[in-house]
Chain A
Amino acid sequence: MRIWPKLKALLSREQLEADMTDELRAHLEMQEAANRAAGMSAEEARYAARRQFGGVDQIKEQARDQRGWVWLEQLWKDFLLAGRTLRKNRGFSAVAIVTLAIGIGATASLFSVINGLLRDPLPYPDAGRLTTVRRHDVNAAIDYMPLTTSDVLDLQERAKSFADIGAFSVRRFNLGGEHAEAVEGALCTAGLFRALGVPPLYGRWFTPDDEAGDQTAAVILSHELWKQHFNSDPSVIGRTVRLDGRNHTIVGVMPEGFTVLSLWMRTRSLGLWSLLSLRRGEGDWNGYWLGSIARLKPGVTSSQASEEVRTIARQLVETDPNRDSHKTFWSIPLAIDLGGLPALRISALLAAGWTLLVLAAQNVAGMMLARGIGRQPEMAVRLALGARRGHILRLVLMESLLLSLLASIGGFLLTLWGQSALTRLLPADVMPRAGLHIDTSLLGSIAVLTLISMQMAGFTPAMLASRTDVVSSIKEGGASSGPARKMQRKLRNLLVGQIAVALILVAVALQLSSTYRGMLGSSRALISDSILTAAVAVKGPAYQTDEARVAFWKRLLDNCATLPGVRETAMASKLPLDGGMSSTVLIDDQAFSPGISYPWIEQSFVSSGFFPAIGARLIQGCWFTPADENRRAQVVVINRTMAGRYWPGQDPIGRHIRPAQADQGWSREVVGVIEDVRQFAERPAQPEMYFPFTDFAVPESFLVVRMAAGLPAPVEAIRQELGRIDGDLALAGVRTLGALFQSQGRVLTVVTSVVDVLTVAIVALAALGLYGTLSFHFARRRRDIGVRLALGAAPRDIVRLVFKQAAVWVIVGLGLGAAFAWAVSSVLRRMLEDASPFNVPGVALGAGVIFIVALLAAWLPARRAMRVNPVEALRAE
């Protein structure tokens, strides 16, 4: 098959047609001449020629089939015809296109965020070979657990998959100067820079010698800090800078844009990196505190590395079963690690988008099916006039193709709008760092979504149309013949299904939205703009002991308490919604067993003022008091969730808590139970223990100041008080609890409101689709109604008839839907930690709306049918 003649045939169709006409006429004339030569009269010769030649148009048609891309021409004709059909049914087309476009737009723009997150380029050379190693403990509250000091040392010694592996821990540093300043930075090992592979702008990376050296304090500066504090002076290398009251030597300056990315620091950059020398048995009090980044050796795949670290963990557990018997290591590519969790956090949105799309396609399918049944007589006439069944199939498919094509254009425009809306709406920590753009994968996903929706919307109606039974359809007007009845049944099933699905979606959407709303509500309880928080890193040679740090905090709290407007001052090792410090415990006389994996319990170390300062309510017992702190009473306050989990139905006051370890450690008596204060914005409250800060004054802690209502916090005065106590320490991250909630709860707020909007859209779509299908069905019963009226039925009887039928369908659909919705809801509750229970009033309301919509959809066309003259209705068919 040669392309060129076919293309020519396609492009110069008129020329070829004219040629063909000329040629056939010439043939006729020659035949005529031959006949005359054989002795016929002129007229006889012409008729004979015609007779011998046969039907000119049939010949032309057959000849055309042999030439060019006939199918392409026909496709074009089908396309035009489909366009005309859609234009004729403007209302139907508009609803279908808009519905599909919204589904495609919502899904595609959310997909572009998630895809962007997982493919975010990392600012490191050959970043595809970077991985991170994490640990996983059964029962851990956090799935993404950091490593311990010995974990990192074990990995460094044993793992063969990595060219380099480094560890780091994000910290606040007090940068000395005229005024001490808090700088966010990280402690990191020499291996980290080797693994990342970004050469320094000036100076050098940390070296193994730095690590081995005794008291070497070395620091590498970020480009930004270097610019701000050292005036971009290249001679800073070798100079000394005061960090946390200790002298550090500047060994390097990193180039602009460099930072060490980690899961919780995807979008913030660090100011400096201070050398971390890991020694066995040292610094392990921090427990799980180290992030890791490793570079794979050439030829080693990420899954091989993951397999190796898993093996290492197993060997470690076998050699020392008393320690960490439930740990395992796993390793994943750094890019996935950084993008995966944010993607997970907004995946509810994508799910809602998908639901919307599926529903939209289902709506369009229902409407097309109903219309397809209505068009059976038309199809029958086409078939009777000689159209092939394949052709009918093609024609109907072309209509749905055209619909989806228009919908995908609309969807594309909506995606553009959705991307900019999401960029405004979603906080930076769940957005791709590289931003959102149009790329081939996005266009591809739109194309795939279009294809899916077209397939779903178009195929059944097309099959239906092509299977039209010619004789019965024409004879019976398509209403009551056998095959038509089969299709009616199909439509009825579809309707019942549509009602059921609508109710299920309403139930799920309600449940999701009330779940999120519940999370939001319980976080909001403590949110107040009159509570000020600030971080203080109490570190340095002067603060090596708990006593020194406790003394510092007592002085700071006392001094601040006298400032005007201050109601309460307190110290806390962590703030609400800012959780992630936990340990494992034994209760009462429970004995430790290395084989058991103990659940992780959140823990805080706070001063006695903490509870009144944040306004937490005491449920039982009492707080610990300053007196308890002074005599180091061995007490602990727990939250309601922990009381419920460990002493269900019992009085927890007076019970004991011990660490889950082999050797006998400390023991604390429960003196009070307070209401839950959420540790994470997007998770339900976890069990938590509050210890007096005299037990362990965590170096990086927070100052909490409750102000008299309406008064601004005296931030400057607090800063001066701090400077008076120790000029090397700086106040950082000053913000109110309200602002803290704003930033931590932002994702939840956005997800909740977007899910709400999508829920409304889903309900609207479900109602719309139901109305479309049902009203079409009853509109087709005009003839039926006409006959009944002609035979003397009263309008009342008609109304009853229509309502009865619609009501039966709706009730069956709602019943099925309610049953499924209940089942789905219990699955959801098993998946989501604090999913709301099945929302009975909400679902009942949804069912009521569906019922009313359905009756309306049945009644309006029926009323219209009753208004017309019965004779006309009969004749119209």
Chain B
Amino acid sequence: MTKEKTDLLQGTLDMLILKALQLEPMHGFGISVRIRQISDEVLQVEQGSLYPALYRLEDQGWIKSEWGTSDNNRKAKFYSLTASGRRQLESETANWAKLSAAINLVLKGARGAASPKL
């Protein structure tokens, strides 16, 4: 049961993490589960990327962390969005929308232009 993995674009992981944290504070494991679920099991975040990304985001001040207790009473570190993190998420979402729309246009156009030759 191997799922097809999609390589994440540089920077998109940061956006996905911010998005996962938009609703509620979450710990690292929760974030990886959440991303997998939302993406319908397509996007699998490697722990090797997740934790460096979390530290990076914290370093930049977009998320903050504190120790708390998980659902099953385990001690875990919970990450939550800061105000600047929210702004970052908004701008990245807007950028992403623009970028993906543009890429879609390019891909469609390319197909249309190529068809007469076929």
If the complex has contacts A5-B59, A67-B59, are A29 and B48 also in contact, measured as CB distance less than 8 A? no
Query: How many A-B residue contacts, CB cutoff 8 Å?
Result: 72
B72: min CB distance to chain A, Å: 7
Query: Complex Cα distance A22/B27, Å?
Result: 12
Query: Complex Cα distance A67/B52, Å?
Result: 8
A34: min CB distance to chain B, Å: 8
If the complex has contacts A54-B46, A58-B48, are A66 and B27 also in contact, measured as CB distance less than 8 A? no
In the complex, identify which listed stretch (B4-12, B15-23, B73-81, B85-93) lies at the interface while the others stay far away. B73-81
| Of the residues A2, A22, A27, contact of B61 by C-beta under 8 Å | A2
Query: Complex Cα distance A52/B61, Å?
Result: 29
A446: min CB distance to chain B, Å: 38
- Residues of chain A within 8 A (CB-CB) of B54 are 63
The residue in A6, A27, A52, A55 that gathers the most chain B C-beta atoms within 10 A of its C-beta is A27
Beta-carbon contact of B52 and A26 below 8 Å: no
Return the chain A residue nearest B58 by Cβ: A5
| Of the residues A2, A27, A31, A62, contact of B60 by C-beta under 8 Å | A2
B96 within 8 A of A: no
If the complex has contacts A54-B47, A59-B47, A63-B51, are A30 and B59 also in contact, measured as CB distance less than 8 A? no
- Residues of chain A within 8 A (CB-CB) of B53 are 66
Interface residues of B in 41-65 (CB under 8 A from A): 46-48, 51-56, 58-61
- Residues of chain B within 8 A (CB-CB) of A1 are 59-60
Beta-carbon contact of A66 and B52 below 8 Å: yes
Query: Complex Cα distance A808/B56, Å?
Result: 60
A591 within 8 A of B: no
A76 within 8 A of B: no
Query: Complex Cα distance A23/B26, Å?
Result: 12
If the complex has contacts A2-B59, A67-B55, are A22 and B70 also in contact, measured as CB distance less than 8 A? no
Interface of A is mostly: helix
Beta-carbon contact of A27 and B47 below 8 Å: yes
B25 within 8 A of A: no
Beta-carbon contact of B48 and A54 below 8 Å: yes
Return the chain B residue nearest A52 by Cβ: B47
| Of the residues B29, B46, B48, B72, contact of A31 by C-beta under 8 Å | B29
A501: min CB distance to chain B, Å: 51
If the complex has contacts A6-B59, A67-B59, are A23 and B47 also in contact, measured as CB distance less than 8 A? no
- Residues of chain B within 8 A (CB-CB) of A31 are 29
| Of the residues B28, B46, B55, B56, contact of A27 by C-beta under 8 Å | B28
Beta-carbon contact of B48 and A23 below 8 Å: no
| Of the residues B27, B46, B58, B60, contact of A26 by C-beta under 8 Å | B27
Return the chain B residue nearest A37 by Cβ: B72
B46: min CB distance to chain A, Å: 7
Beta-carbon contact of B75 and A22 below 8 Å: yes
B67: min CB distance to chain A, Å: 8
The residue in B29, B53, B75 that gathers the most chain A C-beta atoms within 10 A of its C-beta is B29
Beta-carbon contact of B75 and A26 below 8 Å: yes
Query: Complex Cα distance A54/B49, Å?
Result: 11
Beta-carbon contact of B46 and A66 below 8 Å: no
If the complex has contacts A2-B61, A23-B77, A26-B29, are A66 and B55 also in contact, measured as CB distance less than 8 A? yes
A739 within 8 A of B: no
Beta-carbon contact of A66 and B77 below 8 Å: no
- Residues of chain B within 8 A (CB-CB) of A23 are 27-28, 51, 76-77
B30: min CB distance to chain A, Å: 8
The residue in B28, B51, B54, B74 that gathers the most chain A C-beta atoms within 10 A of its C-beta is B51
B55: min CB distance to chain A, Å: 4
A65 within 8 A of B: yes
Beta-carbon contact of B77 and A63 below 8 Å: no
| Of the residues A22, A27, A58, A63, contact of B29 by C-beta under 8 Å | A27
Query: Complex Cα distance A66/B55, Å?
Result: 6
A18: min CB distance to chain B, Å: 12
If the complex has contacts A23-B77, A26-B29, A33-B72, are A59 and B59 also in contact, measured as CB distance less than 8 A? no
If the complex has contacts A33-B72, A66-B56, are A26 and B51 also in contact, measured as CB distance less than 8 A? no
- Residues of chain A within 8 A (CB-CB) of B47 are 24, 27, 52-54, 59
- Residues of chain A within 8 A (CB-CB) of B48 are 54-55, 58-59, 62
User: Can you list 18 A-B contacts (CB < 8 A)?
Assistant: A2-B59, A2-B61, A5-B61, A23-B28, A26-B77, A27-B27, A30-B29, A33-B72, A54-B47, A54-B48, A59-B47, A59-B48, A59-B51, A63-B51, A63-B52, A63-B55, A67-B55, A68-B59
Known: A1-B60, A66-B59. 11 other contacts (CB 8 A): A9-B59, A23-B77, A26-B27, A27-B28, A30-B29, A30-B74, A63-B51, A63-B54, A66-B52, A66-B53, A66-B56
Would you list the 7 A-B pairs with minimal beta carbon distance, nearest first? A30-B29, A66-B55, A66-B56, A62-B52, A66-B52, A63-B51, A23-B77
